[in-house]
Amino acid sequence: MSKAGLAAVRGMNDVLPAEIGAWQHLERITRELFAAYGYEELRVPMVEQTTLFKRSIGEFTDIVEKEMFTFTEADGESLTLRPEATAGIARAAITNGLLRGARLKLWTSGPMFRHERPQAGRYRQFTQIDVEALGFAGPDIDIEMIAMTARLWRQLGITRVQLKLNSLGTPDARKAYREHLVTYFTQHAAALDADSQRRLGGNPLRILDSKNPAMQAVVSGAPLLTEHLDAESRAHFDALCATLAAMNIPYVIDPRLVRGLDYYSRTVFEWVTDALGSQNAICSGGRYDGLIDQLGGEHTPAIGFAMGVERVVALLRQGGQEFPRPAPHVYVVASGDRAMQVGLALVESLRDQHAALRFEMNQGGGNFKAQFRRADRSGAPLALVLGDNELERGVAALKPLRQEGGQQEVPLAELAARIPAILTTLNG
Ligand code: HAM
């Protein structure tokens, strides 16, 4: 707890300037990548009606049962901080009339909220970059989306990742499978832990996801969904796998990958890493062909994924890449009231003429020595020095900071023309 008696809320983190470079790098790369694949950005609210999440993510999921930040408005309406973005995007597509047979390729990013037990890589406020393609039945879009994520890891220099794939089939096939599972787990009820016993009634598929070592034997003996797929889902999945193999995108089929949200059908996938401890999923998603009609929109097959930004950033930082703040091109040292006054106007005019150059002007005073220390620390290759003495003669000094010698006096009116050339010689 800080001196002021304030503390950040548990599971919610500040992103400090020293860390922001990696975030901005990821944001820049994804923004360009998504645009190159034809995706457009949309932004949806952080708060939605609670019923939206209950109807989409599912009543018997961990998220809806125990992880939502929910509050009640004065008029009794129940609202929830979004635990994920897919439901809000589906809602936005319906309520804004964006569908009508259209095909939409969308992405969004921002904070999500889940009241989970915080630990490294698992937070109560975390950030997702989320991509959705609405109106595509696949499997071509499934493949392209996975190829896009594989390209993203390459662009980011992330190598310790593995793609896991599964198919959940159609809701009908899953219903039949669910009965097989209930029969099997009921026969083995004594071997189930309390959590799984509870799930047996509501969401038996989630039992397959159990991390409890004592349950691994009973889980591994359970019937597999992949053995109960309908013919069309099987063909969809086979085409997906065959094309990924032909494109040299490695994957493993994980028949126990069931995902923690109920809206999925057919393809589900997860990129996992062995470099982050137990929170190993960095990017996950799948098809949700039934969600939009279930929410009251027209039938729209769809697929999407979201990556956990904190986890991807942790991988980037682990890789030893540095993302320093870009240094100014020119640090402006101005000593004396008059020099300060003239300097402020002068630097504004230099900024007007060279929008691509970064001029950082010393602020907060200080003698020349102190200002040069700051200039050095800024990493700028060049200092622009304004003193009363120089101003009287209508000149300023340009002083290289990373090389010996070469200080020169330049008439104020010529600064704008001379600075770019001097910077070029310094960089060369
Ligand atoms: P999800 O698997 O719940 O899927 O979350 C996606 C990613 O968000 C995870 O792979 C993980 O990297 C990150 N994540 C989830 N929970 C936390 C947490 N508590 N702290 C830090 N990171 C976390 C979805 O949210 C789906 N909406 C994805 C999707 C989009 N499916 C279709 N379209």
- Mean per-residue pLDDT for 72-81? 97
- Look at residue 272 and tell me whether its pLDDT is greater than 80: yes
At 233 the pLDDT is: 95
Residue 284: band (very low, low, confident or very high) from pLDDT cuts 50, 70, 90: very high
User: Is 264 contained in some domain?
Assistant: yes
Do residues 297 and 348 both lie within one domain?
Answer: no
- Look at residue 428 and tell me whether its pLDDT is greater than 80: no
Residue 395: band (very low, low, confident or very high) from pLDDT cuts 50, 70, 90: very high
At 205 the pLDDT is: 85
- In this structure, which residue's CA is closest to atom 2 in ligand 1? 284
At 69 the pLDDT is: 98
At 352 the pLDDT is: 97
Tokens of 75: 């008029």
- In this structure, which residue's CA is closest to atom 32 in ligand 1? 304
**Cα end-to-end span (Å), the chain:** 50
Please give the residue range of the domain that contains residue 413: 330-426
At 208 the pLDDT is: 85
- Report percent pLDDT > 90 for the chain: 79
Contact 233, 170 (CB under 8 A): yes
Kindly state the helix (H) or strand (E) to which residue 286 belongs, with its residue range: strand 281-287
Residue 309 Cβ inside 6 Å of ligand 1? The answer reads: no
Residue 136 Cβ inside 6 Å of ligand 1? The answer reads: no
Q: Identify the weakest region by mean pLDDT among 92-106, 218-232, 376-390.
A: 218-232
Tokens of 229: 């797929």
For 178-266, list the strands marked E by DSSP. Answer: 252-253
| Strand pairing report for 104-113 and 40-41 | parallel
- Mean per-residue pLDDT for 395-420? 93
Give the pLDDT confidence of 304-332 residue by residue, as tens digits: 999 999 999 999 999 888 898 899 999 99
Residue 284 Cβ inside 6 Å of ligand 1? The answer reads: yes
**CATH number for 367:** 3.40.50.800
Do residues 313 and 356 both lie within one domain?
Answer: no
Do residues 313 and 408 both lie within one domain?
Answer: no
Give the pLDDT confidence of 168-211 residue by residue, as tens digits: 999 888 888 889 999 999 999 888 998 888 888 888 888 888 88
Contact 67, 36 (CB under 8 A): no
Do residues 286 and 348 both lie within one domain?
Answer: no
* Total number of residues shown for the chain: 428
At 104 the pLDDT is: 97
Q: How many CA atoms lie within 13 A of 424 on its CB side?
A: 5
Residue 305 Cβ inside 6 Å of ligand 1? The answer reads: yes
* Boundary-marking domain end, from 318, 343, 374: 318
- Look at residue 73 and tell me whether its pLDDT is greater than 60: yes
- Mean per-residue pLDDT for 339-367? 95
Give the pLDDT confidence of 42-69 residue by residue, as tens digits: 999 999 999 999 999 999 889 999 999 9
User: Is 122 contained in some domain?
Assistant: yes
* Boundary-marking domain end, from 318, 343, 378: 318
Residue 386: band (very low, low, confident or very high) from pLDDT cuts 50, 70, 90: very high
**Dist. CA 295–CA 410, nearest whole Å:** 68
At 416 the pLDDT is: 96
At 4 the pLDDT is: 67
CA 62, distance to chain mean position in Å, is 22
- The residues pairing with 283 across neighbouring beta strands, listed in sequence order, are 271, 307
**Dist. CA 34–CA 18, nearest whole Å:** 26
Do residues 66 and 122 both lie within one domain?
Answer: yes
Residue 262 Cβ inside 6 Å of ligand 1? The answer reads: no
At 2 the pLDDT is: 58
Give the pLDDT confidence of 201-212 residue by residue, as tens digits: 888 888 888 888
* Boundary-marking domain end, from 318, 338, 355: 318
For 158-266, list the strands marked E by DSSP. Answer: 161-167, 252-253
- Look at residue 88 and tell me whether its pLDDT is greater than 70: yes
Do residues 312 and 417 both lie within one domain?
Answer: no
- Look at residue 302 and tell me whether its pLDDT is greater than 80: yes
Angle between the N-to-C axes of helices 231-246 and 140-156, in degrees from 0 to 180, rounded to the nearest 10: 40
* DSSP codes, 344-355: HHHHHHHHHH-T
At 149 the pLDDT is: 98
**CATH number for 115:** 3.30.930.10
- In this structure, which residue's CA is closest to atom 33 in ligand 1? 304
Kindly state the helix (H) or strand (E) to which residue 176 belongs, with its residue range: helix 171-187
- Report the nearest atom of ligand 1 relative to the CA of 259: 2
- In this structure, which residue's CA is closest to atom 22 in ligand 1? 308
At 291 the pLDDT is: 97
Do residues 336 and 393 both lie within one domain?
Answer: yes
Total tally of structural domains belonging to the chain: 2
- Report the nearest atom of ligand 1 relative to the CA of 122: 20
Residue 260 Cβ inside 6 Å of ligand 1? The answer reads: yes
> Mean pLDDT over all residues of the chain?
94
Contact 161, 272 (CB under 8 A): yes
Do residues 309 and 335 both lie within one domain?
Answer: no
CA distances from 41 to 32, 33, 364 (A): 11, 12, 40
